[in-house]
Chains A and B, each alone.
Chain A
Amino acid sequence: MINKENEPVMQDESAGEGSGDAARSRGTGKGMNRRNFLGTMVAIGGIATAGAAKTAAASDDFSGWPNSFGLLTDLTACVGCRSCEKACNESNKLPTPTTPFDDPSVFNQTRRPDAHAYSVVNRFNNPKDPSTPIYRKVQCNHCKEPACASACPIHAYRKTPEGAVMYNPDLCFGCRYCMVACPFYVPAYDYESALEPRIVKCTMCYDTRLKFGKPTACAEACPAGAITFGRRDELIKVARERIAANPDKYIDHIMGEFEVGGTNWLYISGVPFEQVGFPENLPKRPPIELTKGFLSSVPLVFTIWPALFGMCYAAVRHRDEVCEEKIAAHKKEEGK
């Protein structure tokens, strides 16, 4: 499947460069206008109709932001030094963990990103060569059409033209549907906090690096060359080249190329991805496709139901009236 056609890329040269202002005028701008329009619709109570209209409009084969950035993790190169974890922790000013970053004892259990870590590295047995374990860094994969964003009822998530999936705690009311929705089990929640609980997840270093076109802290810190930063389209080419050059070393699969509609964080591996903790049955379609049909029925119900059930009501009334008329006529006859 290596030679499968490239993901279609939007042909818009001005879009997606640097800060992505131009891109915003293209796609997000559309969304913004629609959201303003939506505000008006809310005011007049047509919220559900407008909602479905927006969903329908989003359906025209959106294949991701053109020229968005991404990362490619090469699981065959990772040595499990956890430099990326350390860099991430420092760059994002997260609390210093109790176990130091050079302590390999953390590998004794499988960890996951949590309220205090955007990214963690796990160790897996290597079926090909038990003496060299496989390490895999886990963090948000920054889906092209993120399930978390499709789930959020307050629009606290956005996919930036640069590729990052960003969460805004100022909007979040803590329903945690994004966590339910995420196929990769990524968003974490700080259940410990009573007043300001929030979702915690990798930002692709958006505010500090990505929006200036700079690589993420983890990519910069990796001494083994296991994390490559670049344009997603380019990374897919790089991944294909590596697989083609070393068909024995890699399995013929780029994780994230098509999974759940494609992710901006990609992986290549020497063993099947299920063996390094990836979910087994990831669908190819972006999750939002699965609810689109349902949401598009909303305006239909709003339009058709009143007429349909109004007619039922009228029919019953009509029957009652006919019945009453008959009784009245009958009484009149009897009276004569």
Chain B
Amino acid sequence: MSNDYAVKQNNFQAWFMDKLLMGLSWPDYLKKLITPFNIVAAAILCVGLPLIGVRFVYGLASVTDASNEYPWGIFLGWGLFSGVPLSATGFVMATAYYIFGFKRYHSLVRLGVLTGFLGYLFAVIYLLTDLGRPWRIYYPMLIGFGTASVLFLVAWHVATYLTVQLLEFSPAILEWLKSHRVRRWATMMTIGMTIAGIILSTLHQSALGAMFLLVPSKMHPLWYSQYLPVFFLSSSIYAALAMVIVVSTLGAKFLRDKADQNFLGNLDSLTVGLGKAAAVGIYVYFVLKLTGVAHDDHWNLLSTPYGRWFLLEILGFVLLPGLTLSLGVKKKSTSIVRFGAFWAVIGIILNRMNVSTVVFNWNLPHHLHHIIPPWREAAIVLAIFTLHILLFRWILNRMPVLREHPDYSDHR
């Protein structure tokens, strides 16, 4: 008996060392953890995590400036409204690869799906931090159905889509755990899951914009438009393409040893291809935005201070990154394309922050006093973002994402 136990113990130890410590012993693993990046991350978490505790013990007022006029701050502006479009990566890459047959992009599909899955997971974490009673998060699913609410749709879709993305990513987890049979089942669902992903994504990406349709009197007319759902959906598509460029760039730079030749060798040409698609996406969105101004005939507002801010957004953070991407594509320069992609991602964040915080309540007296969040709120966001990066890295280090698992190299 004791022998059996010892064997089990040994097996577990071997498994633990192999899977979680990446084959290293405890001391080696811990030694490897001491890097400048990790020290900074630890410092951020040391401040941010206790503040999350403060928020749950003393209420939202203890960490945010949320008020009766400004119920939402950067938890949602950054975490949900910016995080979700930047996480359209899974749906965009899976659709391109599985449905439209862009087979060369194979080495980026998993990375896209993982980026999407983690993005949604953390969007939910930001939401849980912001909700007054987060333990009731399941209420829209089971307790009360606000079917006339756009947020009801968002809640359902984000929850469902999180599950869909977990299933989409599950082959990587199952390869890591060497579970052949379950993996085969998981891959059989791929097409169905991809189409489910398209449905859910088109609806909830646009629904995030549709949420603001309710507040025509509170939002600046240059940003308020009946096309808001279309703006949000169309920008999420180029956001996803730019985000895949950004994430693959970071992966190839910082986790080079975890990537295989298939990933690294193809990355440059794929980056240019993605850049081309992102540029097209940006031009579509740019024209839609102009259409929005034209439809409501708001040209005259462009000369107001908010109008200049609007022009800065759509010229400086939409059109210019698009032109940069096109230039990079023309010159076949991955570094220009990457620069354009980072820029486009910043533009998306700017747009979502504009809609959710900057131009919302623009006509209240003393508006904009809340633009700079209190340090506690920012520290919590920074801590959650750090956790996001750490979990991302933890998975990339262990699971076959930037590389193909040798046993499954046929999994295209």
Contact = CB atoms under 8 A, between A and B. Distances in A.
Nearest to A177: B151
Given A171-B143, A175-B131, A153 B218 contact: no
Nearest to A176: B71
B214 A312 contact: no
Interface stretch (A46-54, A73-81, A97-105): A46-54
A294 B136 CA distance: 27
B60 interface: yes
Contacts of B211: 177
Nearest to B56: A194
Given A180-B215, A305-B202, A197 B60 contact: yes
Nearest to A287: B214
Which label, helix, strand, loop or mixed, suits the secondary structure of the B interface? Answer: helix
Interface string B88-99: 000000010011
Contacts of A154: 139-140, 143-146, 152
B306 to A, nearest CB: 14
B72 A294 contact: no
B213 A283 contact: no
Interface centre among B60, B146, B156, by most A CB within 10 Å? Answer: B146
A183 B218 CA distance: 7
A277 to B, nearest CB: 10
B61 A191 contact: yes
Contact of B59 (A179, A193, A291): A193
A283 B213 CA distance: 12
Contacts of A139: none
Nearest to A316: B101
A188 interface: yes
A283 B141 CA distance: 32
Contact of B72 (A176, A288, A302): A176
Q: How large is the interface on A (under 10, 10 to 19, 20 to 34, 35 or more residues)?
A: 35 or more
A302 B195 CA distance: 10
B214 A151 contact: yes
A119 B144 CA distance: 28
Nearest to A290: B213
A155 B145 contact: yes
B148 A295 contact: yes
B128 to A, nearest CB: 10
B145 A283 contact: no
B132 interface: yes
A55 B148 contact: yes
B191 interface: yes
B17 to A, nearest CB: 41
A233 B58 CA distance: 46
Contact of A48 (B156, B215, B226, B360): B156
Interface in B138-167: 139-141, 143-157
A177 B149 contact: yes
Interface string A20-38: 0000000000000001001
B325 to A, nearest CB: 25
Contact of A191 (B59, B133, B155, B191): B59
Contact of B203 (A172, A177, A279, A301): A301
A281 B143 CA distance: 36
Interface of A: 35, 38-39, 42, 47-48, 50-52, 54-55, 58, 112-114, 147, 149-156, 171-177, 179-181, 183, 185, 187-198, 279-283, 287-288, 290-291, 293-295, 298, 301-302, 305-306, 309-310, 312-313, 316, 319-320
Given A48-B156, A153-B140, 19 more contacts: A151-B150, A151-B151, A155-B147, A171-B143, A171-B144, A177-B71, A177-B211, A183-B215, A183-B218, A187-B68, A192-B61, A279-B363, A280-B217, A281-B363, A306-B195, A312-B99, A312-B100, A316-B99, A320-B101
Interface of B: 55-61, 64, 66-69, 71-72, 95, 98-101, 130-134, 136-137, 139-141, 143-157, 191, 195, 198-199, 202-203, 206-207, 210-211, 213-218, 226, 229, 360, 363
24 contacts: A55-B147, A151-B150, A151-B151, A153-B140, A172-B133, A173-B134, A173-B136, A173-B140, A175-B131, A176-B72, A177-B151, A179-B71, A183-B215, A192-B58, A192-B61, A194-B55, A194-B56, A198-B132, A279-B217, A280-B363, A294-B206, A305-B195, A313-B191, A313-B195
